[in-house]
Each structure stands twice: as structure tokens, then as C-alpha cells.
Structure 1
Amino acid sequence: MKRIFSLLEKNWLGTPIQFTWQKTSGNYLAVTGADHIVKIFDRHGQKRSEINLSGNCVAMDWDKDGDILAVIAEKSSCIYLWDANTNKTSQLDSGMRDQMSFLLWSKIGSLLAVGTIKGNLLIYNRQTSRKIPVLGKHTKRITCGCWSTENLLALGGEDKMITISNQEGDTIRQTSVRSEPSNMQFSMIKTDDRTSTAESTISVVVGKKILFLFNLNEPDSPITLEFQQRYGSIVCYNWYGDGYIMIGFSRGMIAVISTYIREMGQEIFEARNHKDSLTSIAVSQTLNKAATCGDNCIKIHDLAELKDMYAIINLDDENKGLGTLSWTDDGQLLALSTQRGSLHVFLTKLPILGDACSTKIAYLTSLLEVTVTNPIEGELPITVSVDVEPNFVAVGLYHLAVGMNNRAWFYVLGENGVKKLKDVEYLGTVASVCLHSDYAAALFEGKVQLHLIESEISDAQEERETRLFPAVDDKCRILCHALTGDFLIYGTDTGVIKYFYIEDWQFVNDYRHPVSVKKIFPDPNGTRLIFIDEKSDGFVYCPVSLEKLLNACFLKMQLMKKSTFKIFYV
């Protein structure tokens, strides 16, 4: 777990802050404090935009695709809408005369629900611009709510009522609770009947002591779950897995219960995760991990084995206490707010990206950092700060390349350090890049472009600077490629493996396999090559001479399970 950035704005100091990750991609983080400004940062901590509000932020939420951030503020009847694609803010007149108190986007559509301090409701359809005002949905302030995957809207208020409405705002169910509700969520309880996937159960904290489960299919039989007094009050909870709920309590305890009807209310796991207090829980379904915070530290559990602690992050400099935890949808970043008004973002998952050339190895070590090492030569590792969060990494004898989409950035690995050389745009989305001493080869959309890395090389002839494969009349798609000191080698969907000799700038060898070639792995000289075909069969090909080619010198290897590792002497 690596802290990749911290935010500490002067105007935030001394007050808790609100924040929310952009849904789906997690490219943006919206943060606001007591300064009446929502600041929008990218995932590397750089400020990209801001929204000036009329007062303190009351609530904010991203739509399901992460395209629109909606914000409501004190002293305003307008809903602020920030577009992540255009970086522009617009204001929508809610038409509500009373102060807004609640805001939430639908899970599946373009509907936005807005509640007020007098219990009124507005449902806004962004796609059609239609507004549906509903007066008197509650008799007092609407404080919490949630959407289901069927576009049902559940709301809770200070009137101690829970209402369930359809997307037109019509009430279809309602029930009363003992005390004020909070932290409302839609989910599914665990049943023997696995045919239904509808979210039919509303869970809500009542009076900070009770977890109330209301099944829409059994409205007359709600379930009330109370917990031991020594746990303290309920701070937060999260559903996960097959009907499990993890609950965090104010005195540092966590408990996991099952909603399976035969186990309802039974604690299947409990632990004192923090000595004095707990302030938040976050669950990443993608990582299958849960994070809790309290006592100046974050503790992360693997949900498959809760007794084992996956990681502990200490924050000794946060002496005023911690705030809220939140993961990006992909589980890559974990954000934590604090009581003094700071925010920290940690890297919790990193794509496995790397490459090797001769004895040199390059691999991704942070979102914007690649480490290059040569353990055989005993060279010290070099850390390279790159310009983009890459989808691919390639290393050659003297260069490093990283990139995403249709662009690649090249760096020179010199004796006096690393220098950015240039960036190159290709004709399609790049799948992979191979480097050697002077040339790079990029695979994109069934083609390979071979080109000089440094076009200033004095003895380079103009026609040898770049070439696109395959030729126009060669009806095939390239699926894999490799680059050695002498050859560009590639395999195609028609089963052809071709050797292009760079010095003579021409093809010198090809082999025709019965089915398509998915992967190739040449030795450093290109004199032997292992390839894997579409049947996951592996072969060794020896293109040393035409005679050996005709003799078909292959060793067939049936690939076993992923966990099987075999060594062959050839």
C-alpha cells in the first residue's frame, strides 16, 4: 500500500471534508470543505476544475457513468451539474422553494432524486429534462435514501418514516421506524431461491443502534437487528458477497452477519479492529477486500478470510482523528478524509505491466512510475517518472517506452540519467510495443509499424526509417510480434510466422502453421522461437536453414493448467 498523494488545502483546515470518487473510471475526485467550493482533482492529485457554490455543500453525487457530478448547496435552489467530458458547469433550477437536503443519482438511468428539509421530492430526468415535483413525500426533512436496480427510490426522513416510490414519484410502500433513519441501502437477502436477482430488501440504521431490514415482498415482517451495547453505536455498514453485511461500531468493533433466513442476525465474525474508535468502513467487491479506519490507522481485510490482516497503514501525523474511507470502483485507489480537513489517497492495486530486453527489466511501480533494472550486470535500479498512466511498457537496450490508446512516449536511458525523447502517435489503439537497440515495433489493430526510435541516427536511410506490416495485398491480421537485434518476427491469424531481416530490409523466412499463431517468444538471436497457437498448443520452431524448415523441426507441448510449469531442453 503506497500513499500516492495527499491534499491539504488551507481553507479546509479544522473542519471535516466531503469527497466522492467518479463512478466507473475513478479518474476524478471531487472534494469540498467549508470554503463553498467543490474542487475536482484527477487521480494523481492535480486540480482540474472547481465549482463555486452559494454556501456549504449539502450533498454531491456522480451519475452511473461518471459523466455528471451533481451538487446541492445551502442558500440555493439550483442544482449544480459539472460535466466531466466538457469540464463545464451548468445550473438547473430545482423549482423547490425550501432548502434541499438530499441528492442521489439512479443506479441504472439518468434520474436524479432531490429531497428537501420540508419533505418534498424532485425527480429530474436528465435525458428528457423532465422534472417531477412531489409535495409532501415526507412531513419533515428527507435525510437519506437509495435507488434500487429496478429504479425504485427509498427515502427516509426526520418524520421516522421510510417511503418507497417508483420513478414517477408514486408511493408504493411505506413503513414507520422507532427513531430517525440513516444510511439506507438496497440489496438482496440470502434465500434458498436463487432465481430472483431483484434488490427487494432495504437496510437502514435506526437511531444509530438498530439495523432494520425491510423486505418489499414481505412488508408485514420487517427484521430488527440489535447488537451488544459494548460495541457502541453503528457508524456504518456495507453489504458484500452472498448476502453478508459488515458493520462498524463506534468503539472499534466490526461484526459480520449473514442475511440467510436460517442464520439471520448471527454474527459469523467479530473483532476489535481498533482500540478506541472506528470512523468508517469501505468494501471493494472488485478486490474482495474491506478497509476500516480508526485510531490513526487503516486496516485491510481479505473478505475470503477475515481473520487474516491483509495490510495496515499507519497515519501517525493525523492526531485529530480519521474520517471517511472510499474506494474507486476498480479497487485501485483508496481515499481517506481526516477530521483536520486533509485527504490521503493510497494505491491498493497496480496493473502487472513489464517488459525485458536482454538482461534489462522494466516494470510499473506506481501509477506514473516505471523502474528499470539490470540485476545481471549489477546496475542500480532507475526510477522513471512517466507522462501518462500506461497500458503498456516496453524496454530496449537504450530506451524505455510507455503508452496508452494510440500514443507512446519514449525515453532515453543514458549514463547520466533518463531523458524524455519524444511521443509517437500510431494509426490505431496500441496493444503492445517491442524495442531493441535502434528500432521500435508497435502492434495495433492487426498491423505492426516498425520505425526508428531516434530518427536522427546519421547512417539511417530514409526508406529504412519506418515500414507498416502486413503489405496491402497480404490478407491477414498480425496477432503477435517480437523484435530482436536482427529481426522483426510476427505471427498472423492465418497461421503464418514471418521473419523480416532489418539489415537487408526484407523478409528472409516464413512458416505456415495450420491454425492462427497467438504468441511468439524468440531467443535473443532469433534462431529459435517458441510459439503458441489458437489451440493453446506450444511449439519450438528453428528457422536456421531452409533444410531444417522443410524438415519441420518442432517440439509440441500441450499446455497444461495455468499452475503447471514445465522445463524443456531443446
Structure 2
Amino acid sequence: IYNKRTMKKQTIMGKHTKKITGASWHPQENIFACGSEDKTVTISNEEGESVIKSEMHDPLRLREEPGMVQLAGVRGDNPDESYRDKVVSLVLGEMSLLLCGMRDPGKPTELSFQTKYGAIKDYCWFGEGFLVLGFSLGYIVVISSATQEMSEELSSVKHHTNSLDCICCSRAAGKIASAGDDGIRIISAKDFKEIKSERIQIRPESRVTQIYWSDDGELLSFATEAGWVYCYLAKLTVLSATCNSRLAYLTSLREMTVIDGANEQGNKIVVPTDVEPAFVALGPSHLAVGMNNRLWFYACGAQRAAQLVNEQEYLGSVESVSLNATHACVLIEGRVYLHPVESNASGKTTIFPRKEDERSITCASIVGSFLIYAQSNGRLQYYSLDDGTEVNEYNHDNGIKRCYPNQEGTRAVLIDSAGLAWLYNPVNDDCVQIQDFPSTADRVLWDTVDSSIFVASDQSNLHTYMYSQIEVGGSGVRCLGSVDLGPEGELRVEPSPTPLAHGSAAVLLVD
């Protein structure tokens, strides 16, 4: 055993009397199982000590040589119990699957399958105790390891015409990949149906020997008998930025596409990037992409091809970035750096707050000719780029965590440290609490035309609000929904969210 931390090797002897044919680590703990030609399975920790407490069942003795040995942590049948039992799984004689829990190693469970499936070619653990098995005649079978469900097949489908070679599962992607004689099939883990649009065709003579997902589910790699290794991009991180009605979104690992959301027939601007971006920002004529403490700025106006116009390296990790036509504001460790977007433009870098030892800014954005930033003490500041002075200040009762201004900076939604949402109007210094605001909202989208309409979005719903500056009793914000007349003829609006399709994210609100 090689310990990467200490850079030392340790040899463990005496576990088996014959050749070890397979081994597997537990996905969370430093224990591993070994299967051998001596028809036994041992389970050991990183020091080589046996994990099986009962000497009667150490090692686990079998009637046949074990194959495809795996270890898993499986939740028990009691849903209120957080303990995960360590389960060793293995194939006997290519036709049956044996499951042995460490709680009671003397009572293993053997599962046999229909002969029409053929031999077990590969299998993997998936989700909360599910097993996905691939069979030689092209069938994929899904079962649960729960005692009361183990005897029933949750799914049984022939996905390949003649044969199946190997399978793998990705919990992060929610998908199963299987390789067979007619290519690679991608199967949804939600309903166990094939996603036909994601089929991968391979050469008939190139049988797949191994296939793996990356931990984040973004990459699918496989090797073939002909000696080739292929790597496919299976999923892209949802990465986007908006400016007025323009939208920039990630279309490949190193490619951004900019479109006009209000004009479906408009030109697409494809921007090849120098890096795989972790965050992006869009301005009227520039795109910024970055990772860690570096930013790359590209000119992406409609009249010219995208080109790199500036590259910046900062003293700390970039938390957020925002652009207008000429300047960028970059938030780094509680301070904002304001500088020209293009390297050949005149102007110097201005740092906020002005006090050297103060690092209290929690969020910042640049809209029109104003830099708007909020601080942990509740101070919201408007700084004019034209005049080079601070032109408006508002002091909130609690610290401000997030600020979402509209395109002109004439309205801003504030989220404070108490978890409450407010709408601030800098024209009259009015600040109104937003009732029925979802605590799970992770973004606010302003209507690109009507500055009184905005949407709060979380992972599952859109919540639409309307700000009324003049009404009986003063200004107010209402969550829109179903409209009805009350018993006295009064107009009633029942807040009603708009559901989002699973996996979708709201990015732009246009008429």
C-alpha cells in the first residue's frame, strides 16, 4: 500500500494463499477488499488489519472464485438511521451477485438473474444503495439493495443489439453509460430510459474495454481494444452573464457565446477563451472571463471579431466582476478595484474603500456611469465615474450581503444579514421591505424595459414582483400571481411562483 501523504510503501503478507485477482477501495473510508483464487475475500484497513470482527468469517469463504469485488457504504432499511453498513459485493461464476454486509457477514445474500440476460459483464453501485448490472447479451438491470426491494428488478432493458462490454455510473451527472457492440448509450438515472440524443458511435472493430466518468460528471472517458483513449465533454457548468438584453453563456470548455436575447435572429458572437472560466461578466462591448486571481478581457462588439484587449492579475482571489462600456470593477477580499477594461485606455486603478485597512465590501457592480457597492455595516454607496465622486449614500439597519441593481441603477434589491429582502430607490431614498421573498433565491433579474418589474429565482421557481412608487399608504412591492375578486369586490392577488423545469436556470428577463 502506498501512502501518498507520507510517501511510504507498506507490504501486507499472509492474507491469501493464492493469487489475488481483484481488489477495491471503499468510496469513503480507507478500507479495501481483496478477492483471490483461494476462494476467499479479505477486508482490511490501511494498516493491513482485518475489518471483519468475527474470526469465524475472516476471511469470507466462498464456493467459487470471486470476481469484480467492490465495496460500498449502504444505508440500512430504517430510513431514520444514519449509519451506513459496509457491504462487499462480488460476482460468482459470472451468473450471480453476492452481497455481504459487515454487520452480519455470516448471512450473505445471493442474487441470480434470468438466463436470457447472459453473463454479468460489469456492475456498479449507484445513489442510495442501487445496483446497475450490465449483461453480456446487451441487457441493463437495476435493483435495490434494500431487503424488502431486493427481489424486484426496478428496470430491465436491452440497450445493446448483440453484446455489452462495460458500464459506469455518475451520481453527479445522474447518468449511466454503457458500452456495447453498437456504441455507447447514455441512460438517465431518473427513469432509466436512454437519452438518445447523447449516443456515442464508435468503430465496430474498436471494442470498449474500460469506461469512466469524472467525479463531477463533466467528462466521460473510455479506452478501446485498438489502443485509443477518448474523452467526451458530457456536461457543461452553467455559466452565464448578462448586460441589458445581451447574454453570454458557456458553450464549450474554452468558448463563450454572446447573443441578444431580445433578437433571436441577431448575430451570435463566439469568443474563444484563453482559460476554462470559473466566472464571467458581460458589458456593452466587452466580455470578462477569469479564474482564481486572473481575468481576461475580450472586445466582443457587433462590428468586430472578438479579440483579447487586456489581461489582469490581482493580489487575491476574484469574488465577482462587473463591466460597463469603459471600466471594470473587481471585488477581491472585501475591496473593490476599479480600472479601465482595455489596457491601452487612459486611467488609473481606484481602490474602495478609501481607507487602507478597511475590507468591508460584500458586493459591487457597475451600471451605466455608476459604481454601486455595499458594505457589511449596512452602507450602500453610489460612486459617479464621470465626476469621480460619491454621489449617494444610504445606511441600512443591518449589514448588506447582496445587491442587485437594475440596468440604470435607479432601483436595487438588497438582501441583508438578517435574511430580509428590500427594494431601494436612490431617487427618493425610499427602502421598502419585499414581502414573500424566497429565502432560497440565488439571483434577481430585472426587466430590460420596465424598471418596476423584477424576478427572484431559485433552483425550482420564478417569483415575479412589481414595485409601485406611488400608491395609497406610500410605495410598495407586491409578488404577482393569481388575481381574484374578494366578497366585497376588492381585488386580491395571491402570490404564485412560476415553476422552472428541472435543471433549468433563469438568466435573462426580456419583453
TM (norm. structure 2) is 0.79
Q: Which amino acid aligns with 1:154?
A: A
On the 8 A contact 1:362/1:371 being kept in 2, the answer is yes
Deviations 1:86-126 (A, max 9, x none): xxxxxxxxxxxxxxxxxxxxxxxxxx2xxxxxxxxxxx444
Q: Which amino acid aligns with 2:59?
A: Q
CA 1:129–1:339: 2 relative to 1, 3 Å = closer
Structure 1 partner of 2:509: none
Distance 1:188 1:527 in 2: 54
**Higher normalized contact order (CA 8 Å, seq sep 6+, divided by chain length):** 1
Structure 1 partner of 2:19: 141
Distance 1:542 1:264 in 2: 60
On the 8 A contact 1:301/1:308 being kept in 2, the answer is yes
CA 1:405–1:132: 2 relative to 1, 3 Å = closer
Distance 1:236 1:218 in 2: 26
CA 1:224–1:529: 2 relative to 1, 3 Å = closer
Structure 2 partner of 1:512: 395
Q: Which amino acid aligns with 2:37?
A: E
On the 8 A contact 2:297/2:342 being kept in 1, the answer is no
Distance 1:327 1:439 in 2: 41
Deviations 1:464-510 (A, max 9, x none): 42101112168562111111221111111111110000011110111
Structure 1 partner of 2:295: 408
Report deviation, 1:419.
Answer: 1.3
On the 8 A contact 1:476/1:494 being kept in 2, the answer is no
Report deviation, 1:319.
Answer: 4.5
Structure 1 partner of 2:434: 556
Map 1:46-61; keep pairs closer than 5 Å. Answer: none
- Pick aligned residue for 2:30 from 151, 157, 164: 151
SS of match in other structure, 1:269:
strand
SS of match in other structure, 1:182:
strand
Report deviation, 1:129.
Answer: 5.2
Report deviation, 1:321.
Answer: 3.0
Structure 1 partner of 2:159: 273
On the 8 A contact 2:293/2:316 being kept in 1, the answer is yes
Distance 2:425 2:73 in 1: 58
SS of match in other structure, 1:163:
strand
SS of match in other structure, 1:133:
coil
Map 1:174-185; keep pairs closer than 5 Å. Answer: 174-185=59-70
Structure 2 partner of 1:44: none
CA 1:129–1:420: 2 relative to 1, 3 Å = closer
Structure 1 partner of 2:499: none
Map 1:91-490; keep pairs closer than 5 Å. Answer: 112=1, 124-128=2-6, 131-148=9-26, 149-171=28-50, 173-189=58-74, 191-193=76-78, 195=81, 197-307=83-193, 309=195, 311-315=197-201, 317-376=203-262, 379-414=266-301, 415-457=303-345, 460=346, 464-472=347-355, 475=358, 477-490=360-373
SS of match in other structure, 1:230:
helix
Q: Which amino acid aligns with 1:497?
A: L
Distance 2:13 2:356 in 1: 69
On the 8 A contact 1:150/1:199 being kept in 2, the answer is no
On the 8 A contact 2:324/2:369 being kept in 1, the answer is no
Report deviation, 1:170.
Answer: 4.3
CA 1:522–1:564: 2 relative to 1, 3 Å = closer
Q: Which amino acid aligns with 1:164?
A: I
Q: Which amino acid aligns with 1:230?
A: K
Deviations 1:275-319 (A, max 9, x none): 211122111122332222223333223323224647531315454
On the 8 A contact 1:296/1:314 being kept in 2, the answer is no
SS of match in other structure, 2:11:
strand
Distance 1:131 1:371 in 2: 49
Q: Matched residue pairs, number? A: 438
Identical counterparts, % of pairs: 37
On the 8 A contact 1:297/1:312 being kept in 2, the answer is no
SS of match in other structure, 1:567:
strand
On the 8 A contact 2:240/2:250 being kept in 1, the answer is yes
Distance 1:539 1:158 in 2: 69
Q: Which amino acid aligns with 2:278?
A: N
CA 1:536–1:559: 2 relative to 1, 3 Å = farther
Report deviation, 1:366.
Answer: 1.3
CA 1:468–1:318: 2 relative to 1, 3 Å = farther
On the 8 A contact 1:432/1:443 being kept in 2, the answer is yes
CA 1:448–1:239: 2 relative to 1, 3 Å = same
On the 8 A contact 2:298/2:309 being kept in 1, the answer is yes
Report deviation, 1:534.
Answer: 3.2
SS of match in other structure, 1:350:
coil
On the 8 A contact 2:255/2:270 being kept in 1, the answer is yes
On the 8 A contact 1:296/1:319 being kept in 2, the answer is no
Structure 1 partner of 2:464: 566
CA 1:189–1:468: 2 relative to 1, 3 Å = closer
Deviations 1:410-440 (A, max 9, x none): 1122533111122101121111111111101
